[in-house]
Amino acid sequence: MKYKTWVEINKKNLNNNVKAFRSILDKKTKLFAVVKSNAYGHGLTTFSKLADTFGVNPVRDRPPKGGCSPACRQAGVPVGGAVSNGVDGFCVDSVTEGKKLRKEGITKPIIVLGPSLNHLARDAARDGITITVSNFDALAALAREKAPADFHLKIDTGMHRQGFYVSDLPKVFSIINRSKLLRKHCTGACTHFSSAKNLTYPDYTLKQIEEFEKVKVLCKEASLRDMQFHAAATGGAVLFPQSHYDIVRVGIGLYGHWPTKESAAQHPITLKKTLTLEPVLSWRATVSEVKHFAPGDFIGYDLTERITKPTQAAIIPIGYWHGIPRSMSSRGEVLIRGARAKILGRVSMDLITVALPKTAKCRVGDIVTIIGKDGKEFISAEEFAEKCDSINYEALTCINPLIERVVI
């Protein structure tokens, strides 16, 4: 094997998920992939380049000498590319992430959702990256720039995290309207829902949508033209279609996972159709040793697990540094040769020990599946997260970014 552990990125499944979300959007609504936190563990540049270019054949669709075809230009694809079925843009957490995408040749729009340091905001202006402004200090700093970046106003409609309150907007617009540059570069407004993942309690999300509708009206009254409005992430996109606006920011859904069990069950009610999402990521490793333990043997650190019967075990070169939390100690499972193998004792920094089924004929070099399918068995990110009292978001984003991402 080339790697001790690696993450597989399934481009067919990603393509399926992009098409699924395309199918629920109006043609005017743009699909942005949320690729913060190392693309939810999938690899920032690896995943983004795939999502950017679906449907492109680099030979067949090579543009003619002298420039891109009219169809390419109309679709907003730069010279050197071709019309694709990929996403329309990307959302990142920081300017640093956005710069990495630009360095990899991604030219589609990029929106930074998190706060931006002043010196990085200048990099954003240079690289054509849109930042979000969520407080008066950040707006004042941007007003002092000679060449500010394009920016979207972040509005707090009830998340009570980042953002201006709706009541702040008259003052915000007064500051913007005093500067021709700020007026020119204020290109959108956005918000974030706090509980759009479950239809059982819709009132709070509906109240947030109502607040955001006020924002649209106030922007128009302030004569801010050509603004892009966006509010919905995956949950809002599937459960509150009235919140699609100009852009939807889809994260966990593009990776083939539902934000909650409720959103998976309830979305056919709101969309009048059922979406099939396919997990994009599988996490593999290899067996580094096979051992036999006798009754009475203690396994790993702190003598936390004692063997009660003759046991064949495999040593796997992954641990909490790689993304297997210590809470998986003596309770987590992996797949080897299509069978489940339980973790024995403590999860170490770089190693785990697993008990093999009696019938398993395991050898050094055998493939181990931590998340994904092996034969008829499947460990989902949701099952993995449940075993360590977490959620699929955390389970995926905690996979070490230094682990190789391999496209299959």
Residue range 255-288, pLDDT digits in tens: 999 999 999 999 999 999 999 999 999 999 999 9
pLDDT of residue 84: 56
Half-sphere exposure of 38 toward its Cβ, with a 13 Å CA cutoff? 18
pLDDT of residue 61: 43
Give yes or no for a contact between 90 and 32, defined as CB atoms under 8 angstroms apart: yes
Which tens digit of pLDDT belongs to each residue from 10-64?
A: 999 999 999 999 999 999 999 999 999 999 999 999 999 999 987 544 443 444 4
Supply the pTM of this predicted model: 0.92
Which residue's entry shows tokens 């033209």?
225
Give yes or no for a contact between 86 and 18, defined as CB atoms under 8 angstroms apart: yes
Give yes or no for a contact between 341 and 325, defined as CB atoms under 8 angstroms apart: no
pLDDT of residue 152: 98
The mean pLDDT value for 128-134 works out to 98
CA 118 to each of CA 90, 94, 126: distance values in angstroms, whole numbers, following the listed order: 21, 12, 13
Which tens digit of pLDDT belongs to each residue from 311-346?
A: 999 999 999 999 999 999 999 999 999 999 999 999
What's phi and psi for 41, nearest 5 deg?
85, 0
Q: Which fold has domain 11-267?
A: TIM Barrel (3.20.20)
- Domain 281-407 - what CATH class? mainly beta
pLDDT of residue 376: 96
User: What is the chain's length?
Assistant: 408
* One-letter amino acid of 115: P
pLDDT of residue 55: 54
Which tens digit of pLDDT belongs to each residue from 60-119?
A: 344 444 444 333 333 344 444 444 578 999 999 999 999 999 999 999 999 999 999 888
Q: Which two tokens stand for residue 186?
A: 């204020």
The domain spans of the chain are 11-267, 281-407
The mean pLDDT value for 185-201 works out to 96
Half-sphere exposure of 155 toward its Cβ, with a 13 Å CA cutoff? 27
**Residue 96 CA to its chain's centroid (Å):** 16
* One-letter amino acid of 278: E
| Per-residue pLDDT at 139 exceeds 60 | yes
Give yes or no for a contact between 137 and 109, defined as CB atoms under 8 angstroms apart: no
Which tens digit of pLDDT belongs to each residue from 230-244?
A: 999 999 999 999 999
